[in-house]
Amino acid sequence: MASIDVAIPNYQYGRYLRDCVHSVLSQGVADLRILIIDNASTDNSAEVAQQLAAQDKRICFVRHRANLGHHASFNEAIDWAEADYFLLLCADDMLTTGALSRALAVMDRDEKINLAFANRAALTQPHLASRSSDIGARWDVMPGRALLERFCRTALCSVVGCSAVVRTAAQKRVGYYRMSLDHTDDFELFMRLAALDGNIAETRTPQVFLRSHDEARSAVVRRNRSLQIRKYEAAFTSFFAHEGRQLPDAEALQRLARRSLASRAYWSGVSHLCRGDFANAAGLLRYAVQRSRSTAFVPPIDYLFRQERVLERAAGALEDGLQRLHLARRAG
């Protein structure tokens, strides 16, 4: 039976940690290890982690005496991993029921799959059930190269980070998260995995519940959209300066990524302008014109036609939007 190591980096998330760990333990996977890495939290994280480790021998707990930054925890987890598969799960998030069983099943069927992930996250907190799986999932298996080309064509990361189950041998091969990148370090690593000779598996079935709160690392870039685009640009620059430069069509892919970044900034700027968010609109449109002067005169319509499954993605966005509206009404 396949084995998996799940690393849970934590900083000041003691209030979420127990639910996160229980969502992993309830997956019904027999050969499982969990490593909680606490980065010198000052809340009750250490107490919660120690209690969890005392209750289940599959759980290990490491505590840093000083805050070493999130990359130190991520890369320590990569060194620790030795099972067939590896997952990095943030302490404020939770796996959905059957997520690991589904991912391991599809990866066991095809030894060429290096990465299995969901392109959507759950919007409501999942029920912590003991069943191994009660939700079916349809997986699309494709060459990793197809995912890399999609990244460059859309300038978007379609991988929900904490849903990404990686074949450990592939993770060891691509190496560590780069400390020069903060908010798009996972995106750059996914590009490295996609560039390997092998396949990826993708599903629209949510594999993880991502909490949205002001203390999350992503909160900063969610508020400043032009900063988010620049973080994506940094990830592309890093990838093509290192592993990506070995690709036979590296220059063409990098040009495509640059053009897509400018186009994405343009349309995102227009969207924010229509919503009355003038600060974000100005930053995004300024970026678009700086990177592609033609966008000041001609809208980059071609970017819209470079999107995969436009109708499917639009329907998914509409479904998510309606669900968020329903949740907001219930909360109000």
Q: Tens digits of per-residue pLDDT, 127-163? A: 765 444 445 789 999 999 999 999 999 999 999 999 9
- Measure the N-to-C terminal CA separation of the chain; round to a whole number of Å: 47
Quickly tell me which residue has 């069983």 as its tokens: 101
Query: Half-sphere exposure of residue 249, counting CA atoms within 13 Å on the CB side?
Result: 10
pLDDT in tens, 256-312: 999 999 999 999 999 999 999 999 999 999 999 999 999 999 999 999 887 765 445
Please report, rounded to a whole number, the percentage of residues in the chain having pLDDT higher than 70.
87
Measure the CA–CA gap between 95 and 171, rounded to whole angstroms.
20
Tokens of 164: 């990404």
Tokens of 149: 């080309």
Quickly tell me which residue has 């903060």 as its tokens: 182
Work out the number of other CB atoms within 10 angstroms of the CB of residue 297.
Answer: 7
* Reported confidence tier of residue 188, pLDDT bands at 50, 70, 90: very high
Tokens of 209: 């519940």
